[in-house]
A and B are shown apart, each in its own frame.
Chain A
Amino acid sequence: MTTINHISESPSTLKQEHSLILAIETSCDETSVAVVRDGKQVLSNMVSSQIDIHRRFGGVVPEIASRKHVDSITLMIEQAVEEAGIKLEELDAIAVTQGPGLVGALIVGVMAAKSLSLALQIPIIGTHHIAGHIYANRLISELHYPCIALVVSGGHTEIVYMESEGSFRLIGRTRDDAVGEAYDKVARAIGLPYPGGPHVDRLAMEAKKAVELPRSWLAPDSYDFSFSGLKSAVLNALNQSQMKGEPLDHGELARGFQESVIDVLVEKSMRAVKEYGAKQLLLCGGVAANKGLRAALTARSEADGVELVIPPFQYCTDNAAMIGAAAHLKWKQGAFDSLDFNVHPSFSLEKWMGQELEDKQ
């Protein structure tokens, strides 16, 4: 086992606010590297889709395979450092997404991070992907605790309660499809291209009427979600219109779907804000780009006098800057990982900061 002894021996001296962290995120499709100061100032945030990888590498890059990460990771690191205008020697730590995510994809980022950590003799911080999405909000606003985070993306739909900095309690999650996934599946059913979320959002915003679809509230006190039934309702509506030969307006169907999703997301997060006495509501994850959701949450927050924070789009989708922001929490504690740590494809958010909570739903 290899441990960076010169660091773990003197953790007390490291409890400080200032950090310059290089962060790596490769949990899924995007290869991203960022340089972040003090967990809130982004010096650079490179995402693989920003540069012409196809041209540079002379071929089509597969959407998911870890090979894409292998191909682009070193280039992304170089570009992130160059863009930040720093020297590698100035870095205090390397942060990397440890999980959750695709095992092969995570390994590429973690191996690159370990190599840098070893070469530069600086600590490494394994970071939780969802903690990253939540702390993306700190890149634009100071966080005031307690707060509630609504995490909505292609792979996640969660409500997280944070009593204080770095304390995460999962109070609600999807029991079947993630909200972004439900959008993609509905888009596919009505013949829209992938990724379908933005198309459904646009159709829904343009439609004058809505097809009435069910809301899945589950138990009255539950913060969990279920979108599978709604997906089936959309498919049934399509099937029935086909069988009866009555055309169905796809815009009206999209609006019915979107209204159902948004009603449930808004209602459950606002209820959590009230029950937990939250000072802020943080919207996080790729679906935070959905115009209907932003508008509905903004209107409801204003009406209820709740402070709502929504990061700009580049910090909503997967990016490394958010990983740097979350890793700063561990930097302050001097809580580093040894070089033999493993990726964790189904990493629990509640366990990341070393807390164990029994109160699971």
Chain B
Amino acid sequence: MNLLSAKHAVRSMSEQDTEQIAAFVAKRCVPGTVIALDGDLGAGKTRFSQALAKELGVTDVVNSPTFTIIKEYEGEKLPFYHMDVYRISMNEADDLGLDEYFFGDGVSVVEWSSIITPLLPDQYLHLFLQYEGETERVIRITAYGEPYAAWVNEWKRSGMA
């Protein structure tokens, strides 16, 4: 069961703002952190993932995982599992053994996560990136369970964005 614990929305005026949000998230990541991303084509899901990977100390080029569905990277701080379920169905995703990543040693990021919501763990952080203009985005953050709710509350208190 997914327990809705906290919600927040921020306005990102540029890629730098998005990078700042990624940095905030990256600082709190631990083994087993799951970040779910949604939003239209070109909304910046991969851009967010790249920024998060960089903060986790991934030095490899993080490019789109759309074709291979899952790409694994070694980060200096934590391993980074980059997934994109755009091309597959729920049933096919069920065969991929995603739990091994979600409950593994690294940070999992799932692009187009709403396709596989029932396969996500009970606790995760969901970001919806909404296109508002050429560089402007509204990022809707929803925390399901802890520690993600604490992150969101911390974010709200910080007064950032």
Contacts and interface: CB of A to CB of B under 8 A. Distances in A.
B16 interface: no
B92 A176 contact: no
A155 B67 contact: yes
A64 interface: yes
Interface string B67-101: 11111100000000000000111011001110000
A176 B68 contact: no
Contact of B95 (A67, A155, A178): A67
A154 B92 CA distance: 19
Interface string B38-51: 00111000110010
A49 interface: no
Interface in A159-180: 173-178, 180
A181 interface: yes
Given A176-B64, A177-B63, A64 B92 contact: yes
B88 A64 contact: yes
Contacts of A342: none
Given A64-B88, A188-B41, A236-B134, A176 B69 contact: no
B151 interface: no
Interface string A210-246: 0000000000000010001001100110010000000
Interface stretch (A97-105, A136-144, A253-261): A97-105
Contacts of A236: 134
Contact of B67 (A66, A181, A235): A181
B68 A181 contact: no
Contact of B41 (A66, A104, A154, A231): A231
A115 interface: no
A175 B92 contact: no
Contacts of B95: 65-67, 104
A247 interface: no
Contacts of A224: 61
B129 to A, nearest CB: 13
B66 interface: yes
B131 interface: yes
A103 B70 CA distance: 9
A27 to B, nearest CB: 9
Interface string A21-42: 0000000100000000000000
A156 to B, nearest CB: 8
Given A62-B92, A67-B95, A228 B47 contact: yes
A157 B69 CA distance: 16
A178 B67 contact: yes
Interface in A175-219: 175-178, 180-181, 185, 188-189
Given A62-B89, A104-B95, A239-B131, A28 B64 contact: no
A231 B63 CA distance: 14
Contacts of B41: 185, 188-189, 231, 235
Given A62-B89, A67-B95, A175-B61, A232 B67 contact: no
A345 B72 contact: yes
A188 B46 CA distance: 17
A183 to B, nearest CB: 12
A346 interface: yes
B61 A154 contact: no
Given A65-B95, A100-B68, A231-B41, A174 B88 contact: no
A232 B47 CA distance: 12
A176 B46 contact: yes
Contacts of B91: 62, 65
9 contacts: A67-B95, A100-B68, A176-B46, A176-B63, A178-B64, A178-B67, A181-B66, A231-B41, A232-B134
Interface of B: 40-42, 46-47, 50, 61, 63-64, 66-72, 87-89, 91-92, 95-97, 131, 134
Given A178-B66, A188-B41, 20 more contacts: A63-B87, A66-B95, A102-B70, A155-B68, A173-B63, A176-B50, A176-B63, A178-B64, A181-B64, A181-B66, A185-B42, A189-B42, A224-B61, A228-B46, A231-B42, A232-B42, A232-B134, A345-B71, A345-B72, A346-B72
**Closest 8 interchain pairs by CB?**
A155-B67, A235-B42, A177-B64, A65-B92, A232-B42, A154-B67, A65-B95, A181-B66
